[in-house]
Amino acid sequence: MKIYKLILCSFIVLLLCACSNEDELTPSNVKENYYAADSSATDPVSILRQDFYKKNNCYLLFNDTLRHELLSKDRDGNNGYFTETVDIGYMMTSATMPEKYTYKYIESFDDKKAAVTFLESNILPHLSAKLRPFSWLLIKNISEYKTVDEGVTYTYKGDDSYAVGDRCTAIAMSGLSNLDDKELHDFAQSLLSGILMNKINKQSSSLLESFTKYGNSLYEKYSGITPINGDANMILLEQSGFIVPYYFANVFIVYGCFPSKSDDINSYVKLVVTKTDDEVNALYGNYPVVMNKYQIMKTILLNLGYVF
């Protein structure tokens, strides 16, 4: 019996030593984070990116190329590369990207610093940690391309002020230096509304039930009344709790029709972001359904992490 106890004790000692040694091992397959600035780099842009992450806990990019690595050479001696980019149009729920984007980059370091100052002064104070994107791409210009054939071809749609994706939010900073304070404020509010709508679209429908219950039976339906002008049309809509009209083909206003669910939600997100309680009361105080929906949307955004 003693010999068995001795063998057992020896085995336990060896096992503890092995575990101790394993604790000191570094895994060999740890993936490199290509969103992060090189921690050993000392150039001004890398330091700016490093400091931004330390302060804000999200990554800062000035280029959509995350890596461009040499893989091999073919039999003719030509280099083969692997390139990984920030695909803002990528959706985890789709096999193709409905949108693609191209960018013009900010060139001067001073302009890059100014872009970061705008972001830290006007956007980040309103976003708690759970609302902030994984990374920010600050560039000069954003061009959007859309597909109607499952990604076979893409057609130029136009230039955007911002683009919100699953892992990155891109902001076009061209012309910011020419904007006055009000224009900067308006641009910031537009961007914040876009970020919030992106977040809302990822939530379950139950999150918005308390809001959408007011319009579920009315969305995109005809009221039975055709107002004589735009003002009369808005009075009809506001009495039912809507603050935007119905657009046919996203272009033409149709009098007497109620807006879509997405337009209804988006309009109230913008209302919460752009107006104070006093301003909303002055505009819609005579419309109790509007006031109820405003308070509900405000609560939803607060719960998502918006900071007023």
What pLDDT is attached to residue 173? 93
- Tell me, yes or no, whether 210 and 160 share the same domain: no
87-91, 96-100, 204-208, 260-264: which has the minimum mean pLDDT? 87-91
Residue 178, in any domain of the structure: yes
- Give a yes or no: residue 128 inside a domain: yes
Contacts 24+ apart (CB under 8 A), 79-84: 84/34
Residues 195 and 260 in one domain: no
Backbone angles phi, psi at 204, to 5 degrees: -70, 155
* Residue that terminates a domain, selected from 177, 201, 225: 201
Distance CA 145, CA 98 (A): 8
d(CA 119, CA 59): 12
If asked whether residues 58 and 162 sit together in one domain, one would say yes
Same structural domain, 152 and 275 = no
Would you say residue 168 lies in a domain? yes
- Same-domain check for residues 95 and 144: yes
Residue 8 falls inside a structural domain: no
Q: What is the rounded average pLDDT for all residues in the chain?
A: 87
Average pLDDT over residues 185-204: 92
**Bridge pairing between strands 135-139 and 162-164:** unpaired
Question: Where does a domain end: 172, 201, 230?
Answer: 201
Can you give the pLDDT at residue 203? 86
- Single out the residue in 171, 201, 231 at which a domain terminates: 201
Q: What is the pLDDT of residues 171-191, one digit of tens each?
A: 999 878 788 999 999 999 999
- Same domain? For 192 and 59 the reply is yes
pLDDT of 254-263, one tens digit each?
999 999 999 9
Contact assessment for residue 196 and residue 185, using Cβ atoms and an 8 Å cutoff: no
Whether residue 55 sits in one domain with residue 188: yes
**140 and 285 housed in the same domain:** no
| Whether residues 123 and 187 fall in one domain | yes
Could you tell me if residue 115 is inside a domain? yes
Q: Range of 161's domain? A: 44-63+88-201
How far is the C-alpha of 51 from the C-alpha of 72, rounded, in Å?
35
Q: 289 and 211 in one domain?
A: yes
Q: Once rounded to an integer, what is the mean pLDDT over residues 11-25?
A: 43
Structural domain count, the chain: 2
Quick one: 287 and 159 in the same domain? no
Q: For residue 99, which of 112, 90, 86 has the smallest C-alpha distance?
A: 90
Residues whose CB falls within 8 Å of the CB of residue 165, separated by 6 or more in sequence, listed in order: 86, 87, 88, 89, 90, 133, 198
Residue at 28 is within a domain: no
